[in-house]
Amino acid sequence: MADTTVLALFERIDPSANALRRLQTEARFDWRDLMVISSAPFPEGVLVMDQSPTRLPVTTVICSVIGVVSGILLAGGTALLYAIPQGGKPIVPGPPTAIIAYEMMMAFALTGVFLRALYEIRLPDWRAKVYDDRISEGLIGIAAHCATEQQVKLAESIMREEGAGDVVRDARRFE
């Protein structure tokens, strides 16, 4: 039975941290294949460090450039299309064009970063996730995605040795 998720429920933090450490060192699980599920918010790094890369700065720069170009095209293009010559003044005025370019830059940057953040935290996600109702009652869940039956058995044995109250197999994923 390949492509299975093993979910273990722990009552305390220390055994769950030990199980995570052993799963990474002894069983060679990648950090992407492990997940901590808890009803209590733990500070970053208490159980496992989030090592996923973020693309928010790059998205901000790209959306800002697109916004500035859009603002210049909007303000300058409108002035060129509906030209009203006025005694020696330029057809495309600088300050109003700069203001509209700035506002468009901010609108594009904020919208782009907001959508990218939703994508990175995987919202909304319509697929079924690994979960157990006892987690909302205070238990800590450690989920390990296993590709082979050997990984499943190794993960189950490590979690039981570290004091998991219950260890279950689940076909749902947590990605």
How far is Cα of residue 28 from the mean position of the Cα atoms in its chain? 23
When the pLDDT of each residue in the chain is averaged and rounded to a whole number, the result is 87
- Between these two residues, 63 and 30, which has the higher pLDDT value? 63
Kindly report the pTM of this predicted structure: 0.62
What sign does the dihedral 33-141-47-158 (CA atoms) show? negative
Give per-residue pLDDT as tens, 15-29.
988 898 889 888 888
Q: Give the pLDDT mean for 136-165.
A: 90
| pLDDT over 60 (residue 1) | no
User: 34 - beta bridge partners?
Assistant: 144
Q: For residues 143 and 5, is the Cβ–Cβ distance under 8 A?
A: yes
Burial code of 43-76, b = ≥16 C-beta within 10 A, e = fewer?
Answer: eeeebbeeeeeeeeeebbeebbeebbebbbeebb
Kindly state the helix (H) or strand (E) to which residue 146 belongs, with its residue range: strand 140-146
